[in-house]
A and B are shown apart, each in its own frame.
Chain A
Amino acid sequence: MTLEPCDRCEELMQDFLDRTLTDREWQEAETHLADCEYCRRRYRFEETLRKYVRTTAAERMPPGLLGKLEELRGLDATA
């Protein structure tokens, strides 16, 4: 089955952003993106979304936890 160009570009998006496409697939995506504002916007959105998820989901370690972990040092294998 042959996909429409935008469908094919959509299929390549995750691997494109993960940089795991083959050279040939990369070229294929780049060529389509150069001419397609619709897909470009969606790629940019996905990139923004990933960064946003990474920063919003990150919660710093509560103060005091590192001290508790320090206290675990030297634990015996039999303890």
Chain B
Amino acid sequence: MGDAEPAPEARRIAAEARDRVRFEEEALGFADQVYRVARRLVGSREEAEDLVQETYARAFRSWRSYTPGTNMRAWLFRILTNLNVDRGRRIQRAPDTQPLEESDYYLANKLASAGGEEVLDQERVVERLSQDSVVRALSDIQPQFRDVVVLVDIGDFTYADAAQILDVPIGTVMSRLHRGRRALKQRLAEEAVA
């Protein structure tokens, strides 16, 4: 081996090594975003760290299946969400006992009737809704709705990217997003007005 190796083969190996390094660098550039989404999809920091490490391990192993120039961020998040579903690690919750179809003004109306219209003003919202209540409310949404809310509203993905990541039609993303946001507001209303 080595000395007898033809030059084109050596060049091919060197080019592949460069491509791989470039791929890894680009993927690692998304680590913070991957963690941020993972953290809201699973129940604890430790699980989120494990999920992110498994995601990168799988991404690095299967780097050849990524097509350069396509959406690497969506590609990585697809691995993440698949792993999360496969491992059954999504935050579980009790089945719904309440209807989910509260209106979009639901939370605003609840807050307004409890404290007047002024509580809806920007600076007062934070006083009414604690960080803990937001995190708790998010984790309390059914997983299929939460995944979409987390991808779009926290991960900043477009509907189209979320559809690609979750392998569902774009119309499904939109309806789950609408329902997920309503469910979130319903949970927040229960906490804020309790």
A46-B104, A58-B36 known; A75-B31 Cβ under 8 A: no
Q: Check if A56 is an interface residue, CB within 8 A of chain B.
A: yes
A57 adjacent to B28 (CB under 8 Å): no
Please report which residues of chain A, range 22-79, place their CB below 8 angstroms from some CB of chain B when the two chains form the complex. Answer: 41-42, 44-46, 48-50, 52-54, 56-62, 65-66, 68-70, 72-77, 79
Interface size on B, residues (CB 8 A): 48
Contacts of B64 in A (CB 8 A): 77
Alpha-carbon separation in the docked complex, A13 to B122 (Å): 17
Interface members, chain B 109-133 (any A CB < 8 Å): 109, 111-112, 117, 120-122, 125-126, 129, 131
Task: Let me know if B53 and A72 touch, CB within 8 A.
Answer: yes
Which residues from chain B sit less than 8 Å from chain A, CB to CB?
A: 20, 24, 28, 31-32, 35-36, 39-40, 45, 49, 52-53, 56-57, 60-62, 64, 103-105, 107-109, 111-112, 117, 120-122, 125-126, 129, 131, 134-135, 138, 150, 153-154, 159, 174, 177-178, 181, 184-185
